[in-house]
A and B are shown apart, each in its own frame.
Chain A
């Protein structure tokens, strides 16, 4: 009976933490920018303009084409689904206008790359945050 109760509590905690989970855009702690506007993040992730007001050039990291995080991120950020984003990037890539964000395999790898690269920014679930990175935008 006690073990069932413990399992129930654990499940509740899991459900609550999952409900609180949120996509956040992160940057290296040494980056001179502490906060980015939603508009600026759109400009960076849509390949339009990546120069920050601090003079740094942001290098965006992306998730794999069929990952859930990518789907949620672009839907929340620009209201477009994965197919639309793929078509958009096909336009920019094959016309030579912009280079798509570098794709990394896991959220852990996003955090690692941002930790090791002063200009890199990425998006992860808030549960993946570490002391080595800072949140520059909450994607809502």
Chain B
């Protein structure tokens, strides 16, 4: 908490100082940069029971129009006092369920180049686990109109507060970038209201190699979860109370929360871009000791450039093992109300566990049109098959045992400045 407050204060002071300095003096433009990005997006869902969204931290869109989930604007200030030292702050304004300046600061760090190849960053740096994690809010830098919910939906940690070390070198005709980091992060998720798990510590390594055409990337992250929202204690107490009459429920006590659990995340990506064809695939595997276990997700993207127009197609999938809550068998020696209550608890726990069951696929068709060197228009249609009980990435207004289909249409204008 202290680190977060410190980063927030330092960013405010830094941004203010730079703004004042820039106005007061003629600043050396080679040492000072202000850049920005933004997306104006309009989204339409078509399902009144299951929402669609980009990340599980968002309040999703049902059968309605929304400008909230795909619109944002960001500004980045960089200052390079010497060739080795730099300071950077990035602030992103977007619709959030819990909004504050602290949540808006996506990066605020000091970077020092120990050698031309070795760099250390201290402070708040963008999350690095997946190929697009570091710039997932910069729509202009991406082909698609919005990130794949199946692949990027769960990774809601936009940044981490800590230290990151990176080393670059040339290898086999390309450049190899390796990174290691240790930090603390927040993992917000929205279901009826915003909740937040802390990841402290989170550490990981990343290796990526790229040349003019190919990109390969591998990342591993180890995460220690802490859930400050103690709502799960009520569920644990309720289960404990029923353990004497329903012994099989005891194993669920630790599974109902991420608190105190460890997670492991593996990500792998291959990309190809020869200027005409853009091909990319990413795969990930996430494991925790809670209901969110053994989550496998992947997508394949293919696009073809025709001058300024690039039509594309994306196929994405996510799946994990459904946590089957043990059946409660009525005990004839117990009063009926106890049996009914235990059966009700079993049903409620199954619905709760299904919040963390992911089983859906999406096919997306879209096009990007670069109307100006710094402005792109995009349109994308998504058709999602949400399998029975597998809608954990979405919000549900009512529970159903059936599969469902969600269509989504998105138009965006992405720009940089």
Contact = CB atoms under 8 A, between A and B. Distances in A.
Are A and B associated in one complex? yes
Given A43-B170, A99-B80, A87 B140 contact: yes
A94 B135 contact: yes
Given A86-B373, A90-B416, A49 B175 contact: yes
B138 interface: yes
A42 interface: yes
A50 B116 contact: yes
Contacts of B125: 96
Given A42-B212, A90-B135, A96-B125, A51 B373 contact: no
A94 B74 contact: yes
A78 interface: yes
A65 B80 CA distance: 22
A105 to B, nearest CB: 11
B116 A95 contact: no
Interface string A31-58: 0000000010011001011110000010
Contact of B275 (A57, A66, A80, A91): A80
Q: Give the size range of B's interface with the partner.
A: 35 or more
Contacts of B373: 65-66, 82-83, 86
B210 to A, nearest CB: 8
Q: Which among B83, B173, B370 has the highest number of chain A CB atoms within 10 Å? A: B370
Contact of A93 (B35, B116, B173, B370): B35
A48 B135 CA distance: 17
A108 interface: no
A79 B274 contact: yes
A97 B109 CA distance: 12
Contacts of A94: 35, 37, 74, 76, 90, 134-135, 138, 141
Given A94-B37, A95-B134, A102-B30, A84 B275 contact: yes
Interface of B: 29-30, 33, 35, 37, 74, 76, 78, 80, 83, 86, 88, 90, 107, 109, 111, 116-117, 121, 125-126, 134-135, 138, 140-142, 168-170, 173, 175, 177, 210, 212, 274-275, 308, 370, 373-374, 376, 416
Enumerate the 8 nearest inter-chain pairs by beta-carbon distance, A residue then B residue, closest first.
A95-B134, A83-B370, A48-B175, A90-B141, A91-B141, A79-B275, A51-B116, A95-B135
Interface of A: 39, 42-43, 46, 48-51, 57, 65-66, 78-80, 82-84, 86-88, 90-91, 93-97, 99, 102
16 contacts: A48-B175, A65-B374, A66-B373, A78-B275, A90-B135, A91-B141, A93-B76, A94-B37, A94-B135, A94-B138, A94-B141, A95-B134, A96-B134, A97-B177, A99-B80, A102-B30
